[in-house]
Structure 1
């Protein structure tokens, strides 16, 4: 008995149905490589063979080959292939074309299986606009599939779609319900897709220990698409725990693996995080290389907007027009009906406003409105992988809203400047060499970035300029090579210095700088610098 005959026997033991093609059996059983090998061996493949070859390509993450096969299938007379073509067009962000294909389908003339798939794909399309209607369409798909011969193969996929819609709607209990039922009845390798969606749910709920265990399982699975996704989520978990070096390793692995297997979506997503990690670690050349690679795959409107957000953020030295550009990105996501991406972009825009000194009552009011929205919609666990890149905003939200955001259990650097001068790293007090070291750290923490001349004037006062510059470089060398948890970086393009850390960093005087309360003690008590005296006077008023 040859391998294909064994697969037929295996499929018919699970359900008696009339397959359109041997490739349908391969796709149902998750034997995608075998299906594509069968397709290549056919002397004259038919329209149905084209359809199921397209779905095997899609399962491998090769959407371009999937489109090629599905267009061919439709042109050769397989009307039902329009269902799958619409689905791939939606995945490719060609939403209007997806809608057009769906409108041309007459579901009444389809088999029960294809009717159920039609309602499922229509639900996926509607999920971008109306989640309530999408859920109803998925439920209709679920009712139709009950009497189909292909129930055992199709039912888990429909339940998986329902789970996806409820996850998008931020209803974790219903998501878990439908995922559990899908797992219970799944008898094919589609179980890996169900596990991947459960991983997304665990990550969204910040249940990182459970997510890590499931990631390890997925990374060991036989499917490249699932494997690559597991690596990417593992990187996101490490970012959420403020471990950028570990995250970088996973993203680099996912990027290389996805590229090797022509999985361009996963390739792009891994790159989008690598750009941010490289930027946070001060690897300017790697940032530019990753950005150029990322741009190659920003081949649809959604990916282009995600690319613009990353590209604008990693510039480092911002202008007012950068804030305007991020407002345009927000407007795009509003029109697209994607509230998660709207919120993500706003977080970066507000952080950029902080760095530009555009922080006023209107901006604070917007921040509080965003936080209220996050609370109302149950989104306080969202974007855990992004907060590492906007630590000042993270700390501000927690100060203003009672530690609302999950505080990572990892390293925490405290800069204590009121009535004392101390640097606490991972719970231990660090002794700093040189008298002006601590003041310099606080100065850069408040200023965000400063020129060497500005530092010399403000921190080193009346000291001769050449001596002040020498003193600064000595302090910088010691901090960068002895302390390591924090570094003073230099941007050659702007000639500005900045304080950087891969860990969570908090400054005790920050609430007073934000005007939340009057300063009762003395800020930097040992300093006689003019900027410190002026700040003490202003904060004490």
Structure 2
């Protein structure tokens, strides 16, 4: 009977699982866990929580994974984190390791840490490949959601399709809703409608997803210009979310109502929905705060309140730091409107240019009409643009955009451009450097490129070389070009149907992230930036990035050391010494963390090695290391 209960869970037959558990005379701890999972997917959140707590109390530590998911549904994010924190991934089965990492990733995503979520899901997938198909489907579903959030729609579709093929009926509903959302954001409304219709046909298989179905229809109605139906759909979401105690779902539905009300000038609905959104106090994540700042800031600007600009800027900064480029585009459009209304106009132009840049980085695929609908002055500004002006990329209908290609600019190892994973066969040695310079410094005039990238090369020859680079990139990387703007007399990077990623930008995103753990996984080989180049700007960028990495690393280790996370300190110090071997502060943390993790004897050896290294490289031992050596001899290291 107990084995049958586990089989019911692993095959997605949750109603059968509930029946089997009820028939057990002496349930074991693991039986309580499986029964809790069944109740959770059937929408019985309180019963699920009670059963999972019982499983934990009776000694089934893996039940913490499912209990974290249950708490997440109820908006208790910090409590969910605590249940995951005590798990040792290395000691779990492939299935449980994959699910634990997936749950941690979902929490990071819902808190706005999209890059961190993607990293955790990569690790989860490495465990999932050795787990049952339903586990693979669950992880693939989450990878697809995060990839779509990052604008990587080709990757998202591949993983979501895989998840749909492998999923049980309940999971399949979630996957269909995710595919519908992705298609809606891309303006593929017919595809989105098909996915929503299929999800609607099977929603009885997954009662827990009931609020998400009208949520999907609400975003679809809004995107297709059907405001009244969108209002009704989000009203339905709110009722269902309250019934199922899903405060986060209600929170975002209230904010969609705010957006609809603000665009329509309905100040009563706007105020009521904002008040309710603020009242959902348990939804306390950076992502939720950024969304609230965005919608409330827009509402304040419409009332002529300049404080709304601060709220919108705060939302932009939060989304940018978290790697939420899609939301950055949307908020920048609202900032352009706000500055157009309240001034200065130059800030409006800058916001619009920033929105265009972020939109291009996403491959130009996002359907922006729903956000532009309520931004009258921004629409007028876009309509007034000349045919060849850069910001017109914000006007292009997504249906006219060719399929997105993934282009990876690799500059931290052997320089290369990868198109859909395949190395482009570049002949011009400076092609990648020209591209990297323009991405780093923005639109630049010819004379700047000649002096910064082609220093020492005759101007005429440098100009011809740039022309050859432009032709090569256009030929080998479809959709990526370096056009010349005769009006502004500058070169810039232009993407059309391309999702461009840059490894150096990923390092920058990690340093700006609010999640310090990314410092343990991000590749920091910035000394190899554009290996082989001797340009002064490249040398300066290597040094600047190295100093930035070390500075953030020292601040992070200081926090970790004070909190007792000595193992993390040790790992990060070992990584960062490769970036700057002569930074005394890194050696300080390396030695002190070694003492805490491996003992005084190991710390003495490490200290001796550091002293020998400095003596060999610079001819003297820093006083800081001499003091550490003395403290180690006296065994008084703090």
TM-score interval, normalised by the smaller of the two chains:
0.5 to 0.7
1:45 Cα offset (Å): 5.7
| 1:388 and 2:373 correspond | yes
Which of 352, 370, 382 is residue 355 of structure 2 equivalent to? 370
User: Offset at 1:82?
Assistant: 2.5
**Pairing 1:279-428 to 2, within 5 Å after superposition:** 279-302=262-285, 303-315=288-300, 316-356=302-342, 358-378=343-363, 380-382=365-367, 384-400=369-385, 401-402=391-392, 404-406=394-396
1:136 aligns with 2:141: no
CA shift digits 1:412-467 (9 cap, x unpaired): xxxxxxxxxxxxxxxxxxxxxxxxxxxxxxxxxxxxxxxxxxxxxxxxxxxxxxxx
Q: Between Structure 1 and Structure 2, which shows a larger proportion of helix residues?
A: 2
Q: Shift of the alpha carbon at 1:208? A: 0.3
1:262 paired residue number:
245
Instruction: Give the distance between the partners of 1:94 and 1:332, measured in 2 at CA.
Output: 21
For 1:43 and 1:398, how far apart are their aligned partners in 2? Answer: 72
Going from structure 1 to structure 2, the CA distance change for 1:323 and 1:195 (only over 3 Å counts) comes to same
1:27 CA displacement: 4.0
Q: Distance in 1 between matches of 2:108 and 2:136?
A: 20
Distance 1:69 1:344 in 2: 42
Superposition pairs for residues 121-520 of structure 1, below 5 Å?
A: 121-124=103-106, 128=113, 129-130=115-116, 133-145=119-131, 151-221=132-202, 222=204, 223-302=206-285, 303-315=288-300, 316-356=302-342, 358-378=343-363, 380-382=365-367, 384-400=369-385, 401-402=391-392, 404-406=394-396
1:59-98 deviation digits (Å, cap 9, x = unpaired): 3567677556545533432111233344456667766665
Aligned residues: 386
User: Structure 1 residues 117, 260: closer, same or farther in 2, change over 3 A?
Assistant: closer
Distance 1:239 1:161 in 2: 25
TM-score normalized by the length of structure 1: 0.61
Give the corresponding residue for 1:81.
63
Residues 132 and 247 of structure 1, relative CA distance in 2, 3 Å threshold = closer
**Comparing 335-344 and 28-37, the one that deviates more:** 28-37
Farther off after superposition, 234-243 or 179-188: 179-188
Q: 1:267 to 1:220 in 2, by over 3 A?
A: farther
Which residue in the other structure is 1:52 paired with? 34
Deviations along 1:444-502, one digit per CA (max 9) or x if unpaired, are xxxxxxxxxxxxxxxxxxxxxxxxxxxxxxxxxxxxxxxxxxxxxxxxxxxxxxxxxxx
Shift in Å, 1:374: 1.1
Q: CA deviation at 1:160?
A: 1.9
Judge conservation of contact 2:234–2:253 (CA < 8 Å) in 1.
yes
Q: Is the 8 A contact 2:196 2:213 kept in 1?
A: yes
- Offset of residue 270 of structure 1: 2.2
List alignment gaps of at least 5 residues for structure 1. Answer: 1-7, 9-17, 146-150, 410-515, 517-541
Tell whether the 8 Å contact from 2:290 to 2:314 is kept in structure 1 after alignment.
no
CA contact (8 A) 2:298 2:312 kept: no
Distance 1:161 1:251, change over 3 A: closer
Q: Which stretch of the first structure deviates more once superposed, 87-96 or 169-178?
A: 87-96
TM-superposed deviation, 1:26: 4.7
Which moves more between the two structures, 24-33 or 366-375? 24-33
Q: Is the 8 A contact 2:36 2:47 kept in 1?
A: yes
Report SS of the residue matched to 1:189: helix
Taking a change above 3 Å as real, the CA distance of residues 271 and 118 of structure 1, as seen in their structure-2 partners, is closer
Q: Secondary structure at the match of 1:77?
A: coil
TM-score, scaled relative to structure 2: 0.53
Q: Deviations 1:11-47 (Å, cap 9, x if unpaired)?
A: xxxxxxx74x83x455444454665677678787653
CA contact (8 A) 1:162 1:178 kept: yes
Asked if the contact 1:48–1:78 (Cα under 8 Å) also holds between the matched residues in 2, the reply is yes
Q: Relative to structure 1, is the Cα distance of residues 311 and 173 closer, same or farther in structure 2, using a 3 angstrom cutoff?
A: closer
Distance 1:251 1:104, change over 3 A: closer
- Once the two structures are TM-superposed, the CA of residue 105 in structure 1 deviates from its matched residue by 1.9
**Given that residues 126 and 133 in structure 1 are in contact (C-alpha distance below 8 angstroms), is that contact kept between their aligned partners in structure 2?**
no
State how far apart, in whole Å, the 2-side matches of 1:283 and 1:33 are.
Answer: 44
Quickly say closer, same or farther: Cα 1:391–1:59, change in 2 above 3 A.
Answer: farther
